[in-house]
A and B are shown apart, each in its own frame.
Chain A
Amino acid sequence: MQIAYYPGCSLHASSELYDRQCKIVLRHLGIELKEIEDWNCCGATSASKTDDFLAVALPARNLGIADSTGLPEMFIPCSSCYNRMMESQKILSEDSELKDKINMELSKKVEGKVKILSILDILVSKTHSGEIAEKTVKKLEGLKPACYYGCLLTRFSRDMQVSDNIENPQGMETVCKAIGAEPVDWSYKTDCCGASAAINDTDTSLFLMSKIIRDAVARGATCFVTTCPMCQMNLDMYQNLVCERYGVKKNLPVFFITELLGIAMGLSPQELMISSHFVNAIGILKDWN
C-alpha cells in the first residue's frame, strides 16, 4: 500500500533518524511511503505566531502537491507539521475566498481531498488489525516507557476532529502494549516541553521539562517514548542540563515510537540510528538485542 509522505524540515535534518525509522518500520508493516515532491516548510509555530496568511499558505502549497498525487492519504510524522497542515486544510475548506487567493499562486492547487494521518493513526490501526503483534519477534517486557504526546498531536487552535482523547490520549500506550512494553501511568503526557522556546527562552523550556522528567522518574518510568521530533530533540538534548539544574538524579533515554517498534521487530540499533541520541539509549536496549 502506498501513502503520500511529508517529512518536513526536521526529518531531513536534525531528526533524519526518524525519517529513516518511519520508512523502515512502515515498510515492515506493508506501507510504502511516497515522499511528495518539492515540498516546503510548513511555517511551524513561527508562522502561526506572526503571520496569519503564511500560517495557512505555506502548508497549503504542500496540500496542493499531495492532492495532485492522487493518493488518498498523506502521513506526517512531525506533530508540528501535522498540526499546521490539519489546520490549514480545515481553514481552506471553510474559506473558499482565501483558498482561491492562495491557489492563484500555486502550480498545484489545493483541492482538500487528501486525508492527513499522524503516525499514531497508522500504528494504532495496525495494532488493532494484529499486524504489529504479528511482526513482533522480541517482546519488550520490563521496559517501562512514559508515553509523551506533547501539545500538537492532540491540541489545535481550532475545533478539530481528534482521533484520541485530548487530556489522556492512549494511542501510544496501545502500541507499546502490543510489543510487550509496560507503559506507566503518569500526569505529564500532554504537558508542553517548551521546544519552541528552547533556543530563545531557554529557562522557560528547562523549567517545563523539569516537571515532565521529574514525574516520569517518580512514576518508575525507564524511558520516554514520543512521536514528535521537536519533543524528542528537546527532552534528549537538554536533559542533562535540566537534571543538573533541578536536581533530578536519573536520566531517561527518549525514544521515538519507531525505535521501540523497530527493536521489537528485530531490527538493530545501528539500522535505526539510535546512536544519534544524546542520553545513551543503546544500553537499556541490550536485553532485547
Chain B
Amino acid sequence: MSSRVLQFRPETSLPLIQEVMERSGQNLLACYQCRRCAAGCPVGEETGVTPDRLIRMIIFGEREEALNNILVWKCVACYTCGVRCPNNIQTARITETLKQMAKRDHIEPLLPKVAAFHDAFLKSTSHFGRVNEIEFMGLYSMHEVRNEIKQGGGWKAVADKIKTKAKLGISMIKKKRMHIRLEKTRKLHEIKRLFNKARDKAGN
C-alpha cells in the first residue's frame, strides 16, 4: 500500500486540504516531511502508512485513498505523532476527521470491527448514560455475528466467535472484573438531548 507512487491531482487537492484543515483544525501545509511522527507511530510498522504519508496524500488530493486508508482505522489515538511534531500537527485529529468524513460519504469502513466497536460504545452510552460492559459487549458481538454471516463464514465461525467471547467474559466474572448489575445516569434526558444535538450537527 505504501509503495504506490502518489499522484498530484490539482482538481481535488485544494478542496480536500481545505476541508480536512477546517474540520481537524490542523495546519497540514506546515508539514515539511521530517518524519518524526513516522518514527514514533506504534502502528506504522504494521500499516506501512505513517502520519507523514497520510498528510502527503491529502495535500496531493488523493481523496479516495485518504478516506479509505488503513492508518485511519489502525490509529490507536496515542497522540505520539502530535506531541513530537515540530510544527504542532496532530495527525490523530486528522485520522479522526477522515473517519468522520468517510462515514458521511457512506464509504464502508476498511476495518468494520473498529467502526462497530466505537458505535457500540456510544450506543451503550446513549442508552444508560454510562457504559455497561455486558450490554456493550453484547451490542458489539451482535455486530460480529451479523458480519460473519454476511461474509458467509457459516455457523461454525459464528459459534467459535461466541465461544471465545464467552470464555473471556467468564474469566472476567470469575475475577470480579465484570458485573451483572446495571449502572445508569438518572437524568438520562440530558444525555439524550446531547446525542440529538450531535445528530443535528452531523446532519448539516
Contact = CB atoms under 8 A, between A and B. Distances in A.
Given A57-B194, A101-B197, A105-B197, A44 B121 contact: yes
What does DSSP make chain B's interface, helix, strand, loop or mixed? helix
A142 B11 CA distance: 65
B113 A201 contact: yes
A192 B78 contact: yes
A13 B178 contact: yes
A201 B74 contact: yes
A50 B113 contact: no
A106 B192 CA distance: 11
A210 to B, nearest CB: 12
B88 to A, nearest CB: 7
B34 interface: no
A50 B103 contact: yes
Given A155-B80, A194-B42, 4 more contacts: A48-B96, A102-B194, A200-B116, A204-B76
Interface of B: 23, 42-43, 46, 74, 76-80, 82-83, 88, 90, 92-93, 95-96, 99-100, 103, 111, 113-114, 116-119, 121-122, 125, 129-133, 137, 140, 171-172, 175-179, 183, 185-187, 190-191, 193-195, 197-198, 201-202
Interface of A: 9, 12-17, 38-41, 43-54, 57-58, 61, 101-102, 105-107, 151-152, 155-159, 166, 190-192, 194, 196-197, 199-201, 204, 207-208, 233, 237, 273, 275-278
24 contacts: A9-B131, A13-B131, A14-B172, A15-B177, A40-B125, A46-B118, A46-B121, A48-B77, A50-B103, A51-B122, A54-B122, A54-B195, A107-B187, A151-B76, A151-B77, A157-B92, A157-B93, A158-B90, A159-B88, A166-B83, A204-B74, A233-B177, A276-B175, A276-B177
